[in-house]
Amino acid sequence: MNPLRHGTGVWSHRPKSAFSLKLHTRRGRRGGLGNARQLVGRDVGNDAPRRRIPIWLIPGIAVGTVFAALAIAHVRVELIGQGYKRYSAVERLQALEEEQRILTARVGELRDPARLAALAKKMGLARPDRVIALAPPGNELRP
């Protein structure tokens, strides 16, 4: 039984192609199996053309992968550094806001009229009887 015939053996699941027709045609006494001996023991039904990566491209892919990994690591380190800077800036902002609240309260305390009156009395100052408004020369007094 010839395994190269259409309908039996290896090519039973494939339609006749130009390649299979060449194997079935008779040439001379041998029966046209010239290149068919190379196919003995091979599963030609699953022989698909293989696309191989060129050998010169492999180092380029490796270098590109290493470069991409280093770039990602650099970005992550920078991101962590920026996070620390942001955290310290937020702490500094909170400290400055607390200092501003303290100073604002101190200014309000120093400007308190009751405190100023008590301080003036302690220093021996009295309230004036009358107020004279002075204007620079050339300007009229406004009532």
Is 47:27 a contact under the CB 8 Å cutoff?
no
26 pLDDT higher than 90:
no
Provide the token pair at 16. 């006749």
Question: Which residue, among 132, 41, 17, has the nearest Cα to 141 in the 3D structure?
Answer: 132
133 pLDDT higher than 60:
yes
Burial of 29 by CB count in 10 Å (0-12 exposed, 13-18 middle, 19+ buried)? exposed
Distance CA 35, CA 62 (A): 41
Burial of 11 by CB count in 10 Å (0-12 exposed, 13-18 middle, 19+ buried)? buried
pTM, full prediction: 0.43
142 pLDDT higher than 90:
no
| Three-class DSSP labels, the chain | CCCCCCCCHHHCCCCCCHHHHHHHCCCCCCCCCCCHHHHCCCCHHHCCCCCCCCCCHHHHHHHHHHHHHHHHHHHHHHHHHHHHHHHHHHHHHHHHHHHHHHHHHHHHHHCCHHHHHHHHHHHCCCCCCCCCCCCCCCCCCCC
89 vs 24 pLDDT, higher one = 89
Average pLDDT over residues 106-114: 95
List pLDDT tens digits, range 31-76.
Answer: 556 676 776 777 766 766 777 888 889 999 999 999 999 999 999 9
pLDDT of residue 4: 52
pLDDT of residue 54: 86
Average pLDDT over residues 81-97: 97
Average pLDDT over residues 104-108: 97
Mean pLDDT of the chain: 79
Distance CA 97, CA 102 (A): 9
